[in-house]
Amino acid sequence: MNTTNTAAADLEIAPGVRAPMLGLGTWPLLGEEAADSVARGIANGYRHLDTAQKYGNEDAVGEGIRRSGMAREQLWVTSKLSLPGHSRAGAIQSYDAALKRMGLDYLDLFLVHWPNPQLGGYVEACRGLQDLVDAGRLRAWGVSNFKATHLDEVLAAGLKPAINQIQVDPQHLQKPLLEANAARGIATAAYSPLGRAGDFLLDPAITGPATAHSKTPAQIVLRWHLDAGRLAVPKSASDARQRENREVFDFSLTPAERAGIDALDTGAGPRLDSDEYGH
């Protein structure tokens, strides 16, 4: 098994700000199931927790954090704003509301969940998030589901998101958008990093490395994300799967193995078009 050249467990996404590369996704968990999953996830080693206003579980994620007994400064907490936050003042109000729901004093990362270009407010929302960072109330801000054209409008306003969280899996590589993020110095975080149907987990491009490294196919795909320098936030409510997803820091893939997984890309875009869908 290759145990050399493994990627770090965290990534600098803004000057002096490092985020754990592997996070615990929480959609669509709600209520007690979400709180319990978060508390167990922290016990199983997760330090990065991902939620959103739209998920309806920010309160439960906050409860899970309290149950864990983990010191707040040892955790990285991400949430995302929805439509009411699409203005400079609205972004700040959405942030305050998220903190109240979660029972926290600050977040590490707050994202504009969808650009909603028909509203024309995402640049001002980003300005509000930068205000929060400048005031020392938020560690970093970013966006989610933004296309290169959306990113360029934000950058043209003198604003730079730390992260663009997008759908990435072996069949939906979104290579042009990955390249756009990189060219602009914006980190990529992958949601649904293991896909939804998961049929590609049976492909020899994944099962071959799984055998070679004595890992599961899911672990191979998560390592593929990390080796490419992407954050990944898989959702899991089971102890066994949570622990399995964490056991990806003791090996790395060869260039040929990574290329083989890259080749599974179908060229299909994300499940939802961010020029048409949003909330």
Please give the positions annotated as active site.
55
Nearest to 121 by CA among 148, 160, 78, 81: 81
**Alpha-carbon span 3 to 245, nearest angstrom:** 17
Query: Which residues make beta-bridge pairs with 140?
Result: 109
Q: How far apart are CA 40 and CA 118, in angstroms?
A: 40
Gyration radius of the chain over CA positions: 18
Region for residue 95 given its phi and psi (left: phi exceeds 0; alpha: psi -120 to 50; beta: otherwise): alpha
Sign of CA dihedral 127, 129, 135, 140: negative
Q: Whole-angstrom Cα distance, residue 220 to residue 226?
A: 10
* Residue 92 C-beta-side C-alpha neighbours within 13 Å: 13
